[in-house]
Chains A and B, each alone.
Chain A
Amino acid sequence: MNNPINVQNLDFSYNKRKILKNIDIDFEKGKVYGITGPNGSGKSTFLKNIASLLEPQKKKVYVKGTDITEYSLKNLAKTIAFVPQNTAIDFEFTVEDIVHMGRSPYTKKFGTETHEDTKICNEAMEITGTYKFKDRSIKQISGGEMQRVIIARALSQSTQILLLDEPVSQLDIHHQLAIMETLQKLAKEKNIMVVCVLHDLNLAAEFCDEVVLLNEGQIFAKDTPEKVFTYTNIEEVYKVICLVNQNPVSGKPHVILVKSGTNNE
């Protein structure tokens, strides 16, 4: 019960269409979790439910043992940081301005940021490699840089829980690895719980301590990558023919895609 996040029997519907069915899951601190599954399987919806971005329901999601509906928005922002899938900002803020917004749940109404705030923000920018362009306008940076800035803002919220919706799907391979390594480091060194939605099964296998495979709004499997990413699981959920090998360096499962369809056809 005292896990950072504990989900009990969660259902969720959009306009009477059931997206999530009967989700029961626990997330422990210090671990990186990957949420995988086909399009429309409810990954983002699930993540938004634990971020309280969708109409929260009572007695379904518990954060540090307390019902999420009992949190004020401010307290929730001090406990959970959320990185959305896409961020488009239309105004000329600097990178530093954006990262400092992560401190807003802590600063008082007319109070300006303290040196402590600045220190936290600088550290967040160092970790994400955004410090060197902190004075650039947010409108003049690339998609990959933007994603890192948004992660820096999430880090500056100093939360124990970090949720990310497809954090690397728009990045090149270098930045994909860099961000995933950062997340892994945060989980290990700061004992933060990281949950990220990932499309790339190999990335999930490589960096996540545990993966959740969602299918049609239900948890199909939740365990270590070795146990979840098996040929039969992937074929059944994704309807693809693939091979599952081992990454010769890390020993983690490595999925090689062959073609769409199943062996029964």
Chain B
Amino acid sequence: MSFIEKKHTYKIIFFVLLALLFVIMLISATMGSADISFTESMKIVISRIPGIGKYIDLTQISSNKIGIVTIIRMPRIILAGLIGMNLAIAGSALQGMLRNPMADPGIIGISSGAGLGAALAITVGAGSYYKGIGLTTISAFIGAAVVIFLVYNIAKTGNKIPVITLILAGIAVSFICSALTQLLMIFNRDQIEMIVRWTMGSLSAANWTKVKVILPISIFGISIIMYYAKELNVISTGEETAKTLGVNTEKTKKILLIVCSLITAACVSVSGVIGFVGLVIPHIMRILTGADQRVLLPYSAIGGAIFMIICDTLARTIAAPAEIPVGIITSLFGAPFFVYLLIINKRKGGAIN
């Protein structure tokens, strides 16, 4: 079947996934350590949906409970969704662009750069806030940005960005950043726990300000990546080929690299390092869609959001009132699931790619 024939099926599945995402967001909002009943939380959430919200009567519910749902849970769920979306779509784009199924947003050193930035901020005093955004967040973003700049310039050969050099430069810079982070931890033993927690990822500090910062970056980044979906397809079959098919490979690679780095850096700086999502969600979605990025990118975005919201809900509920870093959950639950998919697919005679 050609793309046109399959398009209809893809649309239906996409809307099913979208509906699933919405239901999961609703359910997640009803869960938490505070004692709020399912119907109460449901009412509060629905009252905040524009259009139908005004028909919901909240007079029976205490303002405390409304606050917990609308100020604590809702921004956290939305932020988790956005982060999952960005990481997964960046992973999918990078895997295609670097023609490497092992690629993820961390491969070019963004995560360790952000980690170093965060660790620096924590050691000099992380308590300070600027308009709702912590110093740690800002410093993490700067760390990620510096790393991207370094890796990009190390890899740049004349006018080109050779893929292998890019990956190797990313790994090298990654190691430097991790070593420096560990050095900071050794010299600031009293803050080791904070740094470690940050590197394991958590959304416990989510708020609406962070949503407002991440949302426009996500919309911008995802639109640009989607705009290059067709080029990505062609590039993933080989750069030389892409050139003979009329794709300006170097320009496309540069733009995508910068955009993927930007959205990943933004995510990592608010949530800490969350591994696995960017690597595995595209692989899982490829089982549904095949390698066509025109379908894979939007599917990965929704899949990433669903996966992150489920993981973050688990992170804040299974050991409540204590909280488990969400990075641990994504790996602990995601990896076995992925292994399960690998085995099933192996039995079917295919390999995941």
Contact = CB atoms under 8 A, between A and B. Distances in A.
B52 to A, nearest CB: 32
A205 to B, nearest CB: 28
A73 B290 contact: no
Interface string A23-55: 000000000000000000000000000010100
A57 B175 CA distance: 41
B230 A96 contact: no
B3 A80 contact: no
Nearest to B231: A104
Contacts of B241: 82, 84, 87
B2 A104 contact: no
Given A53-B243, A76-B246, A112 B3 contact: yes
B237 A98 contact: yes
Interface string B227-245: 1001001101110110111
A236 interface: no
B328 to A, nearest CB: 30
A113 B1 contact: no
Given A104-B234, A107-B230, A137-B350, A93 B291 contact: yes
Nearest to B99: A90
A261 interface: no
Interface string B4-15: 100100000000
Contacts of A104: 230, 234, 245-247
Interface string B281-294: 00000100011100
B353 interface: yes
A158 to B, nearest CB: 12
Given A53-B243, A93-B237, A112 B290 contact: no
Interface string A45-74: 000000101000000000000000000111
Contacts of A81: 244
B32 interface: no
Contacts of B286: 91-92
A74 B246 contact: yes
B278 interface: no
A80 B246 CA distance: 10
Interface string A78-104: 101110100111111110111011101
A77 B230 contact: no
Interface string A114-127: 00001001000000
A132 interface: no
A109 B230 contact: yes
B134 interface: no
A6 interface: no
A251 interface: no
A100 B237 CA distance: 13
A19 to B, nearest CB: 17
A227 to B, nearest CB: 32
Contacts of B350: 92, 137, 140
Contact of A53 (B96, B233, B240): B240
Interface in B336-353: 350-351, 353
A135 interface: yes
B291 A92 contact: yes
A84 B240 contact: yes
A101 B233 contact: yes
Given A101-B233, A112-B7, A77 B245 contact: yes
User: Which 6 A/B pairs are nearest by Cβ-Cβ distance?
Assistant: A77-B246, A91-B291, A105-B246, A74-B246, A82-B244, A73-B246
21 contacts: A51-B244, A73-B247, A73-B248, A76-B244, A77-B244, A84-B241, A87-B238, A89-B236, A89-B237, A89-B238, A92-B286, A92-B353, A93-B291, A93-B292, A96-B2, A100-B2, A100-B3, A102-B245, A105-B246, A137-B350, A139-B351
